[in-house]
A and B are shown apart, each in its own frame.
Chain A
């Protein structure tokens, strides 16, 4: 229950961190909030030769509204996102999702860059990045690139990040004013990882659902979108019969695993229940029937 020995570097710039990571040749690990990495070190599930601590790099923790997006620095703590007025104004669904992330002491340390890089299939931030079509900015010793969230998550605890790459910021396109949204989650206890959760955003055009997005987590190897159900809802008025169709569609595309906490069948059932609630709530918000 104690980590194996490693070297430690408190990087003072992204360039220094990227250089050290590149020198480590796959044997180094970035240390951000430590809320996933430290347990893995304590269990000796990972044994890096060097930890590159990015906590002292200035200017890596911020939330700023640009003309059409909200940019969040990789080192921004969960608690800062949870309580940010900028996020609440432009991405209320993200504020709602953050209420479900762990406990205060974990939210005080855990970072968005760490959560996306760790890519737990039952974590809220990766699902929000996928739902909101976020763009992830990445730096390595060799240069910079960006990646869409939909291409970033490739498996359970697996991303497209190279071993010498560092996430620097995440850009979420703002929701248009009046967009309906909802986030529904079930966990065994408050703050635990979700058994399943569903996030939805919907706009209305001429009384019909438009730009429908449905994100799901806890029911696959990665967070998922439900493109069939999104298409089904688009251009239609949401009513009981349509909700039934959407729920059936969502249940038919997921293949949840069974584990200690819940069977796959239960998770499939649950994701349908949560999808129904979330679609209905988002729709009611979109048509102005609910605050």
Chain B
């Protein structure tokens, strides 16, 4: 076993310090070391999108980063978006438009859309579908997810 490294990571505004093995994936760090199991793990090779989180302002696959690489970074996970009693507007749109069934893909969807909304206008359904193309959902058929994002984009456009 190779020597552990001590890292400091800010996750959803909380600073954590842990000593980890270099080979520990960021997804496993969040789930196993910090007990933040909202970040789901589907494929561990970047394809399914379930583990998508935001690191220093950019969406990334948590399964394709090492925990040691997050030393000094600011991480946002689904736990930081809202709470059961106070959903954020994106979570509310998902709830209202029935954009989830089993919920396995949902954390990755939410974090992906959070980043998409910051970077692209998402003016058309085609743009939304393109943006979501890296996140697999086995339940919904995507229609309601697209609808949730579309509804949110329209609402935000309506507000000054």
Contact = CB atoms under 8 A, between A and B. Distances in A.
Query: Does more than half of chain A's interface fall in helix, strand or loop, or is it mixed?
Result: loop
A4 interface: yes
Which range holds the interface residue count of chain A?
Answer: 20 to 34
A53 B133 contact: no
Contacts of B133: 103, 189-191
Given A6-B23, A105-B60, A39 B46 contact: yes
B25 A2 contact: yes
Contacts of B38: none
A55 interface: yes
B112 A105 contact: yes
B123 to A, nearest CB: 15
A34 B62 CA distance: 11
A105 B107 CA distance: 14
Contacts of B14: none
Interface string B55-76: 0001111011110110100000
B23 A2 contact: yes
B64 A103 contact: no
A5 B64 contact: no
Nearest to B1: A5
A8 B2 contact: yes
Contact of A35 (B3, B64, B69, B130): B64
Nearest to A55: B69
A264 B68 CA distance: 42
Contact of A34 (B58, B59, B65, B129): B65
A104 B44 contact: no
Contacts of A2: 23, 25, 28, 44
A140 B21 CA distance: 28
A37 to B, nearest CB: 9
B: interface residue count bin: 35 or more
Nearest to A189: B133
Interface string A171-193: 00000000000000000011100
A291 B112 CA distance: 32
A51 B65 CA distance: 12
B63 A7 contact: no
B76 to A, nearest CB: 13
Nearest to A192: B133
A235 interface: no
Contacts of A105: 49, 52, 58-61, 112, 115, 134
B116 interface: yes
B45 A102 contact: no
Given A2-B23, A53-B69, A104 B59 contact: yes
A104 B127 CA distance: 12
Interface in A186-228: 189-191
A35 B64 CA distance: 6
A2 B21 CA distance: 12
A242 B83 CA distance: 63
Contacts of A34: 64-66, 69
A6 B24 CA distance: 10
B22 A103 contact: no
Contact of B64 (A1, A38, A53): A38
A8 B22 contact: yes
B22 A104 contact: no
Contacts of A103: 49, 133-135
Contacts of A108: 58-60, 115
Given A2-B28, A8-B2, A38-B66, 4 more contacts: A8-B5, A38-B46, A38-B63, A104-B115
25 contacts: A2-B44, A5-B2, A6-B22, A7-B22, A8-B5, A8-B66, A31-B69, A34-B64, A34-B66, A35-B46, A38-B64, A38-B66, A39-B46, A39-B64, A42-B25, A42-B63, A103-B134, A104-B59, A104-B112, A104-B119, A105-B115, A105-B134, A108-B115, A109-B61, A190-B133
Q: Which 9 A-B pairs have the closest CB atoms?
A: A103-B134, A8-B22, A39-B45, A108-B58, A38-B64, A190-B133, A105-B59, A3-B23, A191-B133
